[in-house]
Amino acid sequence: MEKNNLDNLRHSCAHLLAHAVKQLYPGALNAIGPAIENGFYQDFDLGKWSISEEDFPKIEAKMRTILPTWQKFSFKEVTLEEAKKLFKDNKYKVEMATEFAKQGKKLQTNDPGDFLDLCKMGHVENPAKELLHFKLLSVAGAYWRGDEKNKMLTRIYGTVFPTKEELENHLKMLEEAKKRDHRKLGKELDLFVISENIGKGLPLITPKGNIIRKQILDYEYELEKKSGFQQVFTPHIARSEMYKKTGHWQHYRDVMYAPFGIDGEEYVLKPMNCPHHYMIYAARPRSYKDLPMRLSEPGTCYRFEKTGELAGLLRVRALSIDDSHILMRESQIESEFKLCIEMVKKMFKAFSLNNFYVRLSLVDPSDAVKYIADAATWKKAGEKLEKIVKDNKLKYIIAKGEASFYGPKIDFMVKDSLGREWQMSTLQLDLFMGKKLNLTYINEEGKEEHPVILHRGLTGSLERTMAILIEHFAGAFPLWLSPVQVIVLPISEKFLEPAQKIKEELAKNNIRVELNADNKSLGGKIRESTLQKIPYMVIIGEKELKSNSISVRKREGKDLGSIEINKFINQLKSQIENFS
């Protein structure tokens, strides 16, 4: 089913949920109920009532009782005064109607037979036949209009599909996703901590988690080194005046933290790395021979995310961006994009994320507020970027109105092992900022020209990347990424000394290894190591000592039998070196 039709199906089911809740809980007020990715939600002011997931069977039963009476949605355009009268008992509908009217939008009611609502979205043609395969999923709190100053409402999430089979497959995927939830696995595998004492959205990466983070960064550094990138380091704060010059202040003020003073000047926590990199470029005269200049930095930035939108490592307030800014001549745009596209492809291969496409995010010319006003430059940049996408044979869709305020971009959308889509790498073409900040270089004729800029996020946020990889691999990382690659398991305390020697030999060869010296049964140690998803277990006992070998077992349960230690080490090294 096409996305628009699915959205209509899901939004219509939100109406059905609203009707059922209002019947079961007299006085409850329904607010908004949009379609979202893979489902819908409906917000309620429940008054004296409360709802938990234990109430879902009752609510679903009421929805199924109502459904046969719904034949077709009827629609009617109304004035603001009419809307206020029709929905006088629902302050949320009145507020929305008043706001829409101020914006010059038409007000429309809909009714499938016995449930009048105010709504401007699409709906299905025959609800009684099309809304059969639904399921309520979870309940959460949500501030009205997303504003923490407003009342906390009850948000019920659900999903609906055209067929029973599609619904069942989706529910199976959700069950598997619960097992893979990076917040759950992050705790079980000791990868990161979010402490109330430090603050929400400020993850603390543990020693094991930092090994994964460092492996990602080391891999990216090697990619960049081979491609002529130069790493820089920039502070975590800057004068707010810099962001006003670039335009970030005007376009990103709502996600920037409050300014603070130093020596009578106004500073902010760094929300992005771009201005810092520009000033490195601007620090001395540049020649066309210096270009392209590829500056990169895994820089930590700080952005205000609403508490209700924080989600483990996926949505944080301190995010490390594997950022790069390539300052170049217009004639170098295509070759630099090709270089970055190839880097992204190599990285996805290393992460076993082989199913991806790109979203070509372009300007919406009708939005005069969101974008720099220069239609000709936007047209030129958009056409150039679409040509690059086609020339590099990337599968793509167009997303109008999703460009950054300074240029169109390519967002790489990957599918994980469960088929879920995630946005990762981003390549943005910026034809504005060089002129805006008067960045220059001297061309062959001794004249000044402005460079153009490629903004490159290789994965995007490193925290988000870790979350995606935890869930993609279900915590069972490939050998090169695993925090602990081998664990040595002596059968009893009698074999601790030879086990320690085996550990030291592995460590000497740069294998990340631990020794389980606990006085437990071998079976218990194997179970514990399996739960920790350690790739290899090395077992040491009487048999191994006599044969001067080790017994090796994989986390999947496969017994590899006896092997000489040096041969095992060479196999590990080969597997680590040839992961991509």
Residue with tokens 């501030």: 143
- Buried (b) or exposed (e) across 190-203, using 16+ Cβ within 10 A? ebbebeeeeeebeb
Contact 377, 430 (CB under 8 A): no
Q: Reduced to 3 states, what is the DSSP secondary structure of residue 45?
A: strand
325 labelled ligand-binding: yes
Contact 334, 293 (CB under 8 A): no
Query: Which 3-state string (H, E, C) describes 499-522?
Result: HHHHHHHHHHCCCCEEECCCCCCH
Long-range contacts of 286-290 (CB under 8 A, 24+ apart): 286/327, 286/440, 286/441, 286/442, 286/451, 287/441, 287/442, 288/329, 288/441, 288/442, 288/443, 288/444, 288/449, 290/441
274 labelled ligand-binding: yes
Q: Which backbone phi and psi does 349 adopt, to 5 degrees?
A: -65, -40
Handedness of CA 247, 250, 254, 260 (dihedral sign): positive
Distances from the Cα of 209 to the Cα of 77, 351, 365, angstroms: 56, 16, 44
Q: Which backbone phi and psi does 85 adopt, to 5 degrees?
A: -75, -45
> What whole-number distance in Å separates Cα of residue 145 and Cα of residue 147?
5
Task: Give the N- to C-terminal CA distance of the chain in Å, as an integer.
Answer: 36
Q: DSSP assignment, residue 371?
A: S
Binding residues for Zn(2+): 274, 325, 455
Binding residues: 274, 325, 455
